[in-house]
Amino acid sequence: MADRGEPAAWDVARPSRPSRVAGADMAGFRVPNLAAGGLRVVPHPAVMLVLEFGTGAPTVADGTGRHHRGSLVAGPGFGSGGGVRAWGEHVECVQVRLSPVLARRVLGVCPADLTGTAIPLDELWGGQVARLRERLGESPSWRDRFALIDALLARRCAARPPADPAVAWAWDQILTSGGRVRVDGLAAELGWSRKRLWSRFQAHLGMAPKHAAKLVRFDHAVHRMVAGHGAARVAADSGYCDQSHLHRDVRAFTGATPAAVVDEPFLTVDARAWPTGPPVRRGPEQRR
């Protein structure tokens, strides 16, 4: 295996059916070796929950000088700037991607407390994390691990009310448009002022709607480039002013050029770990 931890050598597992919790998706990873500094974490518009259970816990350097080992949770956009790196040997984990509108119900904290940062999961869930780690390690298959985590997500969601439906609708519009929707248009459809949308969105999701759209647009664009589409075509199709605009956003989110970022293992494994599917749209009656 190459020092960078080539994705071709990763054992990647997927659930056979969608989660019973809308807005949650998961994948299992078994990676023999990730050399120090070998994996750049690329920002994604979801809350990232990493549940490890292997003999060698992954280490994540969050770009501020802090190193995190073991299970953790990180807010949308974690890795912005390109300074977040992960490494470890004999890494085994289940990663859950949570819609920001679902995060409070699952985690017990608002995404506003997580945006751009990573927190050891035991700071939120206490001793439950050690018990979950043990159960994941004892489970005989990925199927059993996915079922265990899915049941946990469902229980935690059932204990808390859903997110503000208007904010959830606005997030879905940003997501389904690939980040191209206009914030003024969202506010108008809700009958809100731009200031009210900004404050409600920020309070519930930890991001301003304009930044959320920028993050979603970047994610959409960078995955198209990884799939082989040229930067100029991607810029035109993704709502960027021009190719230079795309280049600036990619550099801001990853610390790398578009030509370099398409070879990042974190992205090249995505098609196997997170196959794309049609996003769930909310009807107009669910907006307010």
In this structure, the number of other CB atoms found within 10 A of the CB of residue 11 comes to 11
Q: Is 279 left (phi over 0), alpha (psi -120 to 50) or beta?
A: beta
Q: Are 280 and 22 in contact (CB under 8 A)?
A: yes
Residue 259, class by beta-carbon neighbours within 10 Å (0-12 exposed, 13-18 middle, 19+ buried)? exposed
Residue 247, class by beta-carbon neighbours within 10 Å (0-12 exposed, 13-18 middle, 19+ buried)? middle
For the chain, the structural domain boundaries read 7-158, 165-286
DSSP string computed for 99-160: -HHHHHHHHSS-GGGTTT-EEETHHHHTTHHHHHHHHHHH-SSHHHHHHHHHHHHHHHHHTS
Could you tell me the fold of the domain covering 7-158?
Jelly Rolls (2.60.120)
Please report, in tens digits, the pLDDT of each residue of the chain (288 residues total): 233 456 667 899 999 999 999 999 999 999 888 766 668 899 999 999 999 998 887 889 888 888 888 999 999 999 999 889 888 888 999 999 999 999 889 998 887 788 778 899 999 999 999 999 999 999 999 999 999 999 999 999 999 999 899 999 999 999 999 999 999 999 999 999 999 999 999 989 989 999 999 999 999 999 999 999 999 999 999 999 999 999 999 999 999 999 998 888 888 888 889 886 434 333 433 344
CA gap 101, 20 in Å, rounded:
16
For the entire predicted model, the pTM comes to 0.89
Q: Among 121, 75, 102, 132, which residue's Cα sits nearest to residue 19?
A: 102
Q: Is 255 left (phi over 0), alpha (psi -120 to 50) or beta?
A: left
Class of domain 165-286: mainly alpha
